Structure 1
Amino acid sequence: MREGRCYEQHDFQVLILSQFAQRRPSTEKEKWELQQEYLRLIREIPQMWEEFVRKNQNIYDRFGYLDVVVYDDLTYERKKLKQGRPKEENTLSHRVTVRLDDESYQLLKQYCQTKNITESAAIRELIQTLKWKIW
């Protein structure tokens, strides 16, 4: 089995033929059959690629490539997309990490429980109160 990222037909051809190259003939007849199969593959790979892209057009249009898995018998399929954490639309741009002593952390937790908000929201809220103290 071989996996690869294919941006165009050439990448797909290299992937298929590299998997094909792992086959080793033991007799002259097998060698001749492999040569014939190689020639057939060379002829058919453009149509195989076109059909593969057509089947997975939405993925190819979105990313500009297809991740392909080629098996030992030269069957192939698209490698399934992995589900990741969804992107948030209004992400905050700065990350701050703070270490707190036990007393400060307990105070923060208590504040969060009384206001029913997350620790991050509480810290943002408390930072906003600094605006009025500084200016």
Structure 2
Amino acid sequence: MKEGRCYEQHDFQVLILSQFAQCRPSTEKEKWELQKEYLRLIREIPQMWEEFVRKNQNIYDRFGYLDVVVYDDLTYERKKLKQGRPKEENTLSHRVTVRLDDESYQLLKQYCQTKNITESAAIRELIQTLKWKI
């Protein structure tokens, strides 16, 4: 079994043929059969790639490549996407960068140590206290 990332037909061809190269003939007849099979693969790989991309068009369009698994019998499939971290209901989508003087930064660090929270969490808490003052 071989796995690889295919951006285009050439990558797919290299992957298929490298798996095919694992086959070793033991007789002269097998050698000729493998050569015929090799030539057949060379002819059919462009169609195989087009069909494979068509079948997985949404993934190919999104990422620009397909992760392919080629098995010993030269069957192939798309490697399944790994499941990512689930979305939180309250996503933190805004990033704010702040410059602080030494005194303000030391105050923030002290506050974080006493409350045992991160700097980001402390700043969020302090912003929430503004709700009551507006």
TM-score by length of 2: 0.70
The number of residues matched between the two structures is 134
TM-score (structure 1 length as normaliser): 0.70
Per the alignment, residue 122 of structure 2 pairs with 122
Q: Is 12-21 or 97-106 further displaced after alignment?
A: 97-106
Residues 32, 4 of structure 1: alpha-carbon distance in 2 compared, 3 angstrom cutoff: same
- In the TM superposition, residue 40 of structure 1 has moved relative to its aligned partner by 0.1
- % identity of equivalent residues: 98
Greater shift after overlay, 98-107 or 30-39? 98-107
SS, match of residue 120 in structure 2: helix
Cα shift at 1:9? 0.1
- For residue 101 of structure 1, report the CA deviation from its aligned partner: 24
- 1:85 to partner: Cα distance: 1.0
* CA distance in 2: counterparts of 1:123 and 1:132, whole angstroms: 16
Deviation, structure 1 residue 28: 0.1
Query: Which 4+ stretches in 1 moved above 2 angstroms?
Result: 86-124, 126-134
Over residues 7-48 of structure 1, what are the superposed CA-to-partner deviations in whole Å (9 max), with x where a residue is unaligned?
000000000000000100000000000000000000000000
Shift of 1:124: 2.2
Q: Distance in 2 between matches of 1:107 and 1:95?
A: 21
Q: 1:49 to 1:100 in 2, by over 3 A?
A: same
SS of the counterpart of 1:132? coil
Structure 1 residue 126: Cα displacement: 3.3
RMSD value, Cα: 5.8
Equivalent position of 1:107 in the other structure: 107
Q: Greater shift after overlay, 27-36 or 105-114?
A: 105-114
Structure 2, unmatched stretches of 5+, are none
Residues 40-90 of structure 1, C-alpha deviations (whole Å, 9 max, x = no match): 000000000000000000000000000000000000000000001146698
Question: Using a 3 Å threshold, how does the CA distance of structure 1 residues 60 and 94 change in structure 2: closer, same or farther?
Answer: closer
